[in-house]
Copies of this chain bind each other. A is one copy, B any other.
Amino acid sequence: MDRISVFNEYVRRKGLKNTNQRMVILETFLGSKSHYSTEDLYMKLRKEYPKIGYATVHRTLKLFAECGIAIELNFGDGQTRFEPLIADQHHDHLVCTSCGLIVEFTETRIERLQEQIASQYNFKIERHRHELYGLCSDCAKKQG
C-alpha cells in the first residue's frame, strides 16, 4: 500500500478529515528531496500556496510521522527533520558537519549486531538511530 493510501486510511480510521491543505502538504512532502524541516517545507509550499500556515505544516508533518509514512530525524542542529518512509526500507545517515550533506546507508551486518545486543540486555527494540557525523569528501578536500 502506498503512502497516500496509508495516510488516507489512517485519517478515516481516526475520524479525522481530509483537507486540501493536508493533500497539498503530502504531495509536496513526497514529491521532492527528503529530510525536510518544518521551515523548509513551509517555505517551499508558500510559493504556490501563500495562505498556508506554518502551524498547519508542522501539525501535518507530525501527523505523517504518527501514521507511519514519515519519520522524525534529529541531527542535533536544533531542527527536527521529517523524511518520507518507505515501508521496510530502513536506512541510517552520514551527516556532513560542514555543508549539511546527508548520505544514506544500510548495513545489514550492523542491524543484526544491534539485535544481538538488544537480546543480550533483554531489550525489546522499537527503533534506533545511527548517525555518523564528519566531513564529506568535498568538505574534507577544502579542509573545511
A→B interface (CB under 8 Å): 72, 74, 76, 94, 96-97, 103, 105, 107, 109-110, 113-114, 117-118, 120-137, 140
Instruction: Give bound CA distance, A126 to B139, whole Å.
Output: 13
Does the CB pair B110–A123 fall under 8 Å? no
Does the CB pair B130–A129 fall under 8 Å? yes
Knowing A105-B117, A132-B117 are in contact, say whether A97-B126 is a contact too (CB < 8 A): yes
Does the CB pair A123–B136 fall under 8 Å? yes
Q: How many copies does the complex hold?
A: 2
Does the CB pair B128–A133 fall under 8 Å? yes
16 contacts between A and B (CB under 8 A): A74-B74, A74-B76, A97-B126, A103-B121, A103-B123, A105-B117, A105-B121, A107-B117, A110-B110, A118-B134, A122-B136, A122-B137, A123-B135, A125-B132, A126-B135, A128-B131
Instruction: Give bound CA distance, A120 to B120, whole Å.
Output: 30
Smallest CB–CB gap between A143 and chain B, Å?
10
Does the CB pair A124–B140 fall under 8 Å? yes
